[in-house]
Amino acid sequence: MALLEIRHYPDPVLKQKAQAVTAFDDELRQLAEDMAETMYAAPGVGLAAPQVGVSQRLTVIDCSGKEEEAQLLVMVNPEVIAEEGESYEEEGCLSVPEYYASVTRAAKVQVRFQDLTGTERIVEAEGLAAIACQHEIDHLDGILFVDHLSPLKRSMFRKKWKKIQEHLSEQM
């Protein structure tokens, strides 16, 4: 098991459309395990492979609370196949630390994906899990939550991001 380095905006890997996974092998299982460890350590409720520099369609999600048993969902080649309703909730991103903004998303989603053996599965998600699924699938398409902001809010983000970067580099 290993903790992986989380790439930050504006790393170009975060803007790439990730490649479909075709090999369901030990290397994929190891990457999923390392990503889960990295997500729990951050802490976060999700992580996509491009965030650790790997441009492949793999995500891990766990929206169970601190007091609950872990419920790790590993999704390979996930896609939203149905959506319902609308939510507008504040989001953060491990690749855009210290910045938070509200984003409009579907309130409920149905996601088709493959598990680590390549078996096709479907999951239905609502609440935080639905937001996490959409946030992580966006990462696989090279989209960050700040890309959903209005032009005005995005320009405010870019100004604020310069200050956040200065703050982060002081901490190092």
Binding flag, residue 142, ligand K1U (CB under 6 A): no
Asked if 111 contacts 123 with a C-beta cutoff of 8 angstroms, the reply is: yes
Tell me how far apart the terminal alpha carbons of the chain are, to the nearest angstrom.
25
Binding flag, residue 93, ligand K1U (CB under 6 A): yes
Asked if 131 contacts 80 with a C-beta cutoff of 8 angstroms, the reply is: no
Which of 59, 11, 10 lies closest to 31 in space, CA to CA?
59
Binding flag, residue 60, ligand K1U (CB under 6 A): no
Binding flag, residue 43, ligand K1U (CB under 6 A): yes
Residue 47 interaction partner, one of ligand K1U, Zn ion, none, beta carbon < 5-8 Å per kind: ligand K1U
**Which residue number, 127 or 156, has a Cβ lying nearer to ligand K1U?**
127
Residues sharing a CB contact under 8 Å with residue 119, sequence separation 6 or more, in sequence order: none
Please report how close the Cβ of residue 84 comes to Zn ion at its closest, in angstroms.
Answer: 23
Catalytic residue among 69, 98, 136, 170: 136
**Which residue number, 21 or 39, has a Cβ lying nearer to ligand K1U?**
39
Please report how close the Cβ of residue 139 comes to ligand K1U at its closest, in angstroms.
Answer: 6
Is 136 one of the catalytic residues?
yes
- Report the SS3 class of residue 73: strand
Residue 53 interaction partner, one of ligand K1U, Zn ion, none, beta carbon < 5-8 Å per kind: none
Asked if 127 contacts 40 with a C-beta cutoff of 8 angstroms, the reply is: no
Binding flag, residue 93, Zn ion (CB under 5 A): yes
- Report the SS3 class of residue 11: coil
Task: Tell which one of 94, 125, 137, 146 touches ligand K1U (CB under 6 A).
Answer: 94
**Burial classification of residue 62, based on how many CB atoms lie within 10 Å of its CB (0-12 exposed, 13-18 middle, 19 or more buried):** buried
Task: Tell which one of 91, 101, 105, 148 touches ligand K1U (CB under 6 A).
Answer: 91
In whole angstroms, what separates CA 123 from the centre of its chain? 16
Give the interface with Zn ion as residue ranges (CB under 5 A). 93
Active site residues: 136
